[in-house]
Amino acid sequence: MAKTEQDRSSKQEYFSTNVKGTENVLQIAKKHNSYFIYISTAAIYGSPSSPITEQTLISPNGYYGLTKWKGEQICEKYRKDGINIAIIRPTSILGKKRLGIYAIIFKNLIKDTPIPILGNGENKISLININDLVDFIIFLNEKKIPNITVNFGGKIPGTLNFVLQELKLHINSKSKIQHVPIQFLRILKILSKLKIVPVTPFQLSVMHKDYYFDDKLLLSTGFNYKHETIDSLKEMVDYYKSQFG
């Protein structure tokens, strides 16, 4: 299992799991001449301008993104050895038990306490439902599309303000949105590195800006998304409320 952004693990843990672990599994795939699907991450791009494409400059700004990119480089090495490898670069994944950073928002919504967000909230961020990602993995395994490297950017549910308002209405929350001026970003990144605030530097670098994808390559495979991300978020907040509310 990969170490994710939200794990906030040490450099050694990220490299051991995401780099060495990837090569260990690829050695097995090579031995059996298997079709291999590597789940990378959109975090390898850092915080670029949108829309993000497969040609966007690679610029990871944390150990998670860096080690997933190194995993891709290992995949490229094995491709040259004749192994057929598909690489998927998903953005933030939604699912009932994949709470991550959303647990902070859900907790505030349920307790009717303020929800601080960085910036004016008019930015658009695309998200994906975990079931769509699983369907795409199955789709690739069935089609055996050769050596594709593709973003999995998902759907844009609306501006961040719109999403929070929809969630407020969904559970009848009285929470107010607090917009934190972007001028505090540098201080917040320092506090994040010290683990004083519950978000990572990478999350801080993208949460205040547009972060969505051009999915032309993905859609050209014949695959399409089935799930609306706003519905996925509502399912997540319902689950959180049932477990922790």
In the prediction, which pLDDT does 4 show? 58
The closest alpha carbon to 153, from 60, 77, 216, belongs to 216
Sequence-distant (6+) residues with CB within 8 A of 191 are 197
Note the pLDDT of residue 2: 59
Count CA atoms within 13 Å of residue 181 on its CB side: 3
| C-alpha–C-alpha distance, residues 106 and 168, integer Å | 10
Task: Give residue 127's pLDDT.
Answer: 96
Q: Which domain holds residue 69?
A: 5-244
Residue 15 DSSP code: I
The pLDDT score that the predictor gives to residue 120 is: 97
Residue 76 is inside which H or E element, if any? helix 63-80
The structural domain count of the chain equals 1
Residues 6+ apart with CB under 8 A from 49: 210
149 strand-pairing partners: 87
SS (H, E, C) 107-176: HHHHHCCCEEEECCCCCEECEEEHHHHHHHHHHHHHHCCCCCEEEECCECCCEHHHHHHHHHHHHCCCCC
Describe the crossing of helices 229-244 and 160-171 by its angle, rounded to 10 degrees: 50
Burial of 232 (0-12, 13-18, 19+ CB in 10 A): buried
Structure tokens at 78: 């094995």
Q: Answer whether 39's CB lies under 8 Å from 90's CB.
A: yes
pLDDT in tens, the chain (245 residues): 554 545 556 888 889 999 999 999 999 999 999 999 999 999 999 999 999 999 999 999 889 999 999 999 999 999 999 999 999 999 999 998 888 889 999 999 999 999 999 999 999 999 999 999 999 999 999 999 999 999 999 999 999 999 999 999 999 999 999 999 999 999 999 998 888 988 888 889 999 999 999 999 999 999 999 999 999 999 999 999 999 87
70: domain CATH number is: 3.40.50.720
* pLDDT score, position 214: 97
